[in-house]
A and B are shown apart, each in its own frame.
Chain A
Amino acid sequence: MRLTNRDWNALGLSALLIAVVCCLPFLTQGYWLSIGVTIAMYAVLATSWALFSGPTHYISLATAAFFGVGTYTVGYGIEVLPYWTLLPIAGVLGAVLAALAGLATLRLSGVYFVIFTLGLAEFIRQIITWVQNLTGQRGIYVLTSITESHIYWQLVGLAALVFLTGWLIGRSRLGFALRIIGDDEEVARHSGIHTARAKVLLFMVPGAAAAIAGAILAPRYVYIEPMLAFTPMLSFQVVIMALLGGTGRLWGPLVGVIPFTIIWEAISASFPNQTTLLLGVSFLVIVYLLPRGFVGLIEDTRHRGREAQA
């Protein structure tokens, strides 16, 4: 693989940004660090979500399913295995679950996929609830010495990994294949692309990333129960943030995650009972006013600027 000067600049700049972002726990603890954790978490979830849903236009609501699987991997595993081994295990489980869900549904199109992925999270949640009812257990405690700062650094590291993966996919045959599939699946197939395989492979990326994110956050929750780990709100929020930022660019979702998280924290503090309603409203507003997200807005403005000059 040959890297141009521009690639090196982009990589260097990204490394520098990540280093700067990693300094947050030294500057502040408490409220702003917890906001930082939330932003880093959604950066992982929304960016990995957009890696798959951006080019393929399949709206996945399975984020909560993968996330919950990761959380419960730590919940059940923490007594048996060292914490650090649980993160890769969660990643593998998330990827396998994504592959199974993908094999079952990616041949279907559009709506069926959306409903299936939404049902998947609910399905796993019900299974865990059922098992807990059998054993008479309600939730599980995850007691560790991991601090908020550790969680933050792990999430930033995971986000960096997701960005790197996205960047590498974008330069690969797989990335090119997915852009073709997103444009015209019939052409893709007749050009020799194994469309189902490409989609399943790519769907494993958000599966693994969301599961690892869930595993990283498990110690923060301390007490895990199914309704918390598999909350459908998570899936919807990830979709909204990614669409707000725009899925056309790798950095797009991040542009949506940062303002949305900060505004959302303020909203849910002021109107705790109306959050679902407000989430729906913001979804409508984004779809109607910013169909291509901030990325689209930025690119249109640039385009207009160039035309004005010409």
Chain B
Amino acid sequence: MRAQSPVLALRGVTKRFGGLVAVNAMDFDVAEHEVLGLIGPNGSGKSTTLNLISGALHPTAGTISLRGTPITELPAQDIARRGISRTFQLVRLLPSMTVAENVMAGAVFGHRRRWGGEATAHAEAMLERVGLARRGHLRVGQLTYIDTKRVELARVLASDPKVLLLDEWLAGLNPTELEEGIALIRSLRDEGRTVILVEHVMDAIRSLCDRCVVMASGTKIAEGGVSDVLSDPEVIRAYLGDEDA
């Protein structure tokens, strides 16, 4: 038993698409201030799990609760307002708006709702937080790839989320950018934020996560401390196949 009650809890969460079971009876908890890595090979159901938590999809069975309150059937906008905020696997920005307005979207409609000068100031602070100070006037088309990811992160942070869902936030970055990216996420961790990280970059998982949940073919195959989980024979088999285990 954990001392404090979990911020987010999944119990028996299952998602079927017709005959395909994409997520099969997932159980796990995320504690306050914890960075949880959700890892597994391609197609193992990590992103689907994230979509179920954020309300983009609804589970076929099982419950998801935020601080003990079920949010399983809520639409995405209500889940966002309750404080679960996400980035997307393929960065999604608002193309007709400036960088600052993109971040404002999170500040105005998120968990904590601001308006007017307060929202503008908050958006600016978030841009500074992710390393984009004084770039608010730019169009999103003028940004480099990592900067688009930063804007998306700033938008998510601007809503003051209780739980942050980062869907392969580090994917596609070059080695220098990756270092900056990892440092940025580590700084979130140091702030005591609660984060679920879906990630392929093993270095990032090792240096950022408190615990890991490993998925394969929609099922949880391991959970625990990062080094224990990564040396688990079943996890190695899932990633590399039988012969290497």
Contacts and interface: CB of A to CB of B under 8 A. Distances in A.
B109 interface: yes
A25 to B, nearest CB: 41
B95 A192 contact: no
Nearest to A248: B96
B72 interface: no
B92 A191 contact: no
B77 A193 contact: yes
Contact of A187 (B55, B75, B92): B92
Instruction: Categorize the interface residue count of chain B.
Output: 20 to 34
A173 B115 contact: yes
B26 interface: no
A177 B97 contact: no
B86 interface: yes
Given A183-B97, A184-B92, A186-B92, A173 B108 contact: yes
Interface string B65-104: 0000000000111101100011010001111110000001
A306 interface: no
B106 interface: yes
A194 interface: yes
Contact of B108 (A176, A183, A189, A194): A176
Contacts of B96: 179, 182-183
A186 B92 CA distance: 9
Which secondary structure characterizes the binding site on chain A? helix
B104 A192 contact: no
A195 interface: yes
Nearest to B82: A192
Contacts of B109: 173, 177, 180, 188, 191-193
Given A173-B115, A184-B92, A191 B97 contact: no
Interface string A187-206: 11111111100000000000
A194 B97 CA distance: 20
B150 interface: no
A194 B94 contact: no
B86 to A, nearest CB: 6
B81 A183 contact: no
Contact of A191 (B55, B78, B80, B95): B80
Contacts of B55: 189-190
Nearest to A1: B116
A189 B105 contact: no
B46 interface: no
A191 B110 contact: yes
Contacts of A193: 77, 109
**Chain A to chain B: the 7 pairs with minimum beta-carbon distance, closest first:** A192-B80, A183-B94, A192-B109, A189-B76, A192-B81, A191-B109, A191-B105
21 contacts: A173-B108, A176-B105, A177-B109, A179-B97, A180-B94, A184-B92, A184-B93, A186-B92, A187-B92, A187-B93, A188-B109, A189-B55, A189-B76, A190-B56, A190-B85, A190-B86, A191-B109, A192-B113, A192-B159, A193-B77, A194-B77
